[in-house]
Amino acid sequence: MRAFGQIIIYLFIIINASRVFFSKHIKKDSLVILAPVSLILAVSNIFAYGLHGITIQLFLIACLSVITNVHSLLRYSEKLFIDRFSIIMKSSCVLIILFSIISSIFLLANNPAEVDKKSLNVDIKTAYYEGSFRNGFEPAQIFSKKAVYFTEYKKQGLSDSPKNVVVFVSDKRGDSMNYKPFLQILANTGFTVCTFDFYTDDLDWGVQHNERIWRSYELIQKSLKDKDPYAADRKKYEYNITIECNGLMPLLEERYGKDCKYYFIADGIADKPVKEFVASNPEKTTGVFCLDSISEYAGAGFGNIEMTNPFISRKMDIKKDKTAFIPKYLAKKVSEAIYSAWSTK
Same domain, 221 and 205: yes
pLDDT of residue 82: 66
Q: What percent of the chain has pLDDT over 90?
A: 58
Burial 223-236 (b: 16+ CB within 10 A, else e): beeeeebbeeeeee
Mean pLDDT of the chain: 89
Q: Is residue 327 very low, low, confident or very high in pLDDT (cuts 50, 70, 90)?
A: very high
Q: How confident is the model at residue 81 (pLDDT cuts 50, 70, 90)?
A: low
Q: Which of 109, 131, 155 is the last residue of a domain?
A: 109
Q: How many CB atoms lie within 10 A of CB 251?
A: 18
What percent of the chain is predicted at pLDDT more than 70?
Answer: 97
Considering the domain architecture, whether residues 46 and 132 belong to the same structural domain is answered as no
- C-alpha to C-alpha distance for 322 and 184, rounded to whole angstroms: 15
Q: Give yes or no: residues 162 and 267 share one domain.
A: yes
Q: Please, which pLDDT band fits residue 163 given cuts at 50, 70 and 90?
A: confident
**pLDDT confidence of residue 251:** 95
The pLDDT assigned to 20 comes to 85
Give the residue from 78, 97, 77 showing the smallest Cα distance to 20: 97
CB 155 within 8 A of CB 187: yes
Domain termination residue (choose one: 109, 126, 153): 109
Q: Is 16 in the same domain as 137?
A: no
Contact 10, 55 (CB under 8 A): no
Give the Cα separation of 264 and 167 in Å (integer). 5
pLDDT in the model for residue 25: 64
| Mean local confidence (pLDDT), 124-133 | 94
Residues 13 and 161 in one domain: no
pTM above 0.85, yes or no: no
- The answer to whether residue 137 scores a pLDDT higher than 90 is yes
Checking if the pLDDT of 33 tops 80, the result is: yes
**88 and 125 together in one domain:** no
| CATH code, 168 | 3.40.50
For residues 57 and 33, membership in a common domain is answered with yes
Same domain, 189 and 85: no
Strand-strand pairing, 136-139 and 164-169: unpaired
Mean pLDDT (whole number) for 112-132: 89
Domain that holds residue 279: 117-343
**Residues 225 and 95 placed together within one structural domain of the fold:** no
One domain, residues 30 and 93: yes
Region for 7 from its dihedrals, namely left if φ exceeds 0, alpha if ψ lies in -120 to 50, beta otherwise: alpha
User: In which order are the strands placed within the sheet that holds 261-266?
Assistant: 136-139, 122-132, 148-155, 192-198, 164-169, 261-266, 285-290
Q: Which of 64, 80, 109 is the last residue of a domain?
A: 109
Same domain? For 43 and 177 the reply is: no
| Total number of domains in the chain | 2
Checking if the pLDDT of 61 tops 70, the result is yes
Tell whether 42 and 182 lie within a shared domain.
no
In this structure, are residues 212 and 149 in contact, taking their beta carbons and an 8 Å threshold? yes
Q: What's the Cα-to-Cα distance from 188 to each of 75, 126, 148, 219, 321, rounded to whole Å?
A: 56, 17, 24, 30, 20
Please give the helix or strand (H or E) that residue 118 lies within, else none: none
Give CA–CA dist 273/270, Å, rounded: 6
Average pLDDT for 89-97 = 93
Residue 241 has pLDDT above 80, yes or no: yes
What pLDDT band is residue 199 in, cutting at 50, 70 and 90? very high
- 24: which residues sit within 8 A by CB, 6+ positions away? 82, 83, 84
**Single-letter amino acid code for the residue at 183:** L
